[in-house]
Structure 1
């Protein structure tokens, strides 16, 4: 008769504990292979990033959620070879709608900041001007070009609505042909419909009221937004990499099950996949900037030609979140970076790196 060998009590306990912990944290499998040596010195993008070539600092952050404002931090070019960073400054009900503006010099340093309460007016950036409008009044400043926040009143030409319809029409058509800057704003007052026609002429901003028989929506070519070109926005939900980022390597750490929430009334679905560290690079100035991101799952499918799609998975059974490492890279040796809606980092080349070739 053969002797039956039973596992020891300690072995059974060990097996049960491993099974229990794996089941409790939702991890299906762990990867035992070490990280490839060439990626050991890669770092996460935060204020602890240490490099001989670059310095990384948190530039701005906001508490506005992506659901209420999907792109709460934005960057757009301004006059004098500068950039303007606009950031939602809301922290509580008292600051709801407030905005912070940073004027960035060509070397990546902050020249000026402006905090505005949005209780009455909404500013429009038009090259060297900020034009503030509401349903009744309007003023402008020259803060973008010289930092001056003095309120200069818009000259209203027909405040009493005494102009004929033909006079208003002729003035608008003439201005459109002769002036560089002009735009419309719609106003509704006690079921009466108006348009405010703003324009810059004779070194001042002016406005003409136009009464309308019915409400007319504005075309994008008629609004002030056409003068502002956002070149960067936080919170962009796109699982594919931007063109200025290269995917280098994925190091799997644990296999787990997570979900995708589609939204819009459509049912979600679950995926079992590896989660780990993703390694990337971009180029800032003439140097490579390397970094890694933890808790990343990479997916590929036939429907998009097996392109890499990136998701953040914080824990098993949690919904995956789209991951996109977004950079605005200046030709002057600095960059802005964000991978979520609520904060943005600035990355600058160190002076020693600028002169060391």
Structure 2
């Protein structure tokens, strides 16, 4: 009898262990054990993803722009902030739009919206460029909007003019001697304010701005590797200083006026990824919850929260194991590993920019 009871107990123990590890019992129990009540002091924090403006002291923050891809931003030489967003068009042939960009191909049908802000954060001008298969690359290029395929530029950023102005095209027929091409190339490197080199079939073209004029030099000589661009046109204009929201190169305590103050665990989830080729599947857990933060602007404090999840795997297990106020000790590491927020201010501007997602952009201004 004892032997039978021992066998039954062993089977139950084994079954329990298997269910704990593979049937989700561990997650169930951990969720049941997670009974921490949100402290009263954090219950008035507002969800930053709200589309409504939030007033705090003498300031307000408002979600101003949303975009299909990453929003671009930069400050012009006139001191205006330029914002560029984009969206899938709604006024084109919908069948063509739906088929556009399928199977990893380029998406051509996009509407690009440019906004010009004065020093008070007011939109003082706007311009929309409707991209098509025939004309699909107008880029922010310094103080200009440039299309190096169609060889024109626009001066809207400086003076509000959206008329196409032709570039001066050099050596289009590739009849310059090698010496002439080299001299032209090195003159660009030494004297051009901005330049950008890209491929055009078997040859290359260098679009550049020098002494108040736009040029495009076509060349079939070998360009030294590593010297392709002085400017960074197109996709990488960003006042926050990051080309990619997930880059891990932020300086410690980069945002001294923002402090994560509390992490509230909400739910533990377990994920299993199936392995190919008969390998062992990988299982990991995430704590999903809300990150509570404070943003200080000239004596006013915005108390906000945003959804975030921490994985148990290296290098993020320290956040997974952290809860409550302990998140404050990990501010620098949190900003580097997760980049949960980005902030921009400038002494010449009477407003600030903020985001938790590079496809969204918030504007912070004094209350009128």
Question: TM over 0.5, yes or no?
Answer: yes
Q: Which has the higher mean CA deviation after the structures are superposed, 298-307 or 36-45?
A: 298-307
**How far did 1:60 drift?**
1.6
Structure with bigger strand share is 1
Instruction: Quote the Cα distance in structure 2 between the aligned partners of 1:261 and 1:146.
Output: 54
More helix by share: 2
| 8 Å Cα contact 2:79-2:119 kept in structure 1 | yes
Specify which of 107, 110, 119 is matched with residue 120 of structure 2.
107
- Mark the CA change 1:47 to 1:186 in structure 2 (over 3 Å): closer, same or farther: same
Please name the residue that 2:352 is paired with: 335
Task: Choose from 57, 65, 68 the match for 2:62.
Answer: 57
For residue 249 of structure 1, give the secondary structure of its aligned residue in structure 2: strand
Structure 1: tracts of 5 or more residues without a match: 1-22, 65-71, 311-321, 352-357
* Residue 243 (structure 1) aligned to one of 254, 259, 281: 254
1:127 to 109, 120, 142: 142
Q: Report how far residue 286 of structure 1 moved.
A: 4.3
Q: Distance in 1 between matches of 2:40 and 2:185?
A: 67
Q: Which runs of 4+ in 1 moved over 6 A?
A: 238-242, 260-266
Q: Give the 3-state SS of the residue equivalent to 1:148 in structure 2.
A: coil
Aligned residues of 1:279 and 1:293 also touching (Cα < 8 A) = yes
Q: SS in structure 2 opposite 1:225?
A: coil
The residue aligned with 1:181 is 194
Q: 1:79: Cα distance to partner? A: 2.1
* Mapped partners of 2:73, 2:275: distance in 1: 29
1:89 corresponds to 2:87: yes
Displacement, 1:248? 0.4
Partner Cα distance (2:227, 2:137) in 1: 17
Task: Provide structure 2 residue ranges, at least 5 long, that are not aligned to the other structure.
Answer: 1-24, 98-107, 323-336
SS in 1 for 2:182: helix
Pairs within 5 Å for 1:165-244 = 165-188=178-201, 193-212=202-221, 219=226, 221-222=228-229, 224-225=231-232, 229-232=237-240, 236-237=245-246, 243-244=254-255
Task: Give the conservation status (yes or no) of the 8 Å contact 1:301–1:307.
Answer: no
User: Which digits, 9 at most, give the CA deviation of each residue in 1:117-169, with x for residues without a partner?
Assistant: 333242343332222111xx401111111111111101123333332222122
Report the count of equivalent residues: 301
TM-score, length basis structure 1:
0.68
- The CA distance in 2 between the partners of 1:118 and 1:350, in whole Å, is 37
Cα distance in 2 between the residues matched to 1:170 and 1:108: 45
Counterparts of 1:1-357 in structure 2 under 5 Å?
Answer: 28-29=31-32, 34-45=37-48, 46-48=50-52, 49-63=54-68, 72-91=70-89, 93-94=96-97, 96-119=109-132, 120-134=135-149, 137-188=150-201, 193-212=202-221, 219=226, 221-222=228-229, 224-225=231-232, 229-232=237-240, 236-237=245-246, 243-244=254-255, 245-252=258-265, 254-259=266-271, 267-271=281-285, 273=287, 275-294=288-307, 296-298=308-310, 306=318, 324-331=339-346, 332-351=349-368
RMSD value, Cα: 4.1
For residue 29 of structure 1, give the secondary structure of its aligned residue in structure 2. Answer: helix
- Cα displacement (A) at 1:63: 4.0
Contact 1:128/1:145 (CA < 8 Å) preserved in 2?
A: yes
Q: Is the 8 A contact 2:144 2:157 kept in 1?
A: yes
Distance 1:63 1:161, change over 3 A: closer
Q: Residue 108 of structure 1 aligns to a residue in which SS?
A: coil
TM-score (norm 2): 0.66
State how far apart, in whole Å, the 2-side matches of 1:238 and 1:42 are: 28
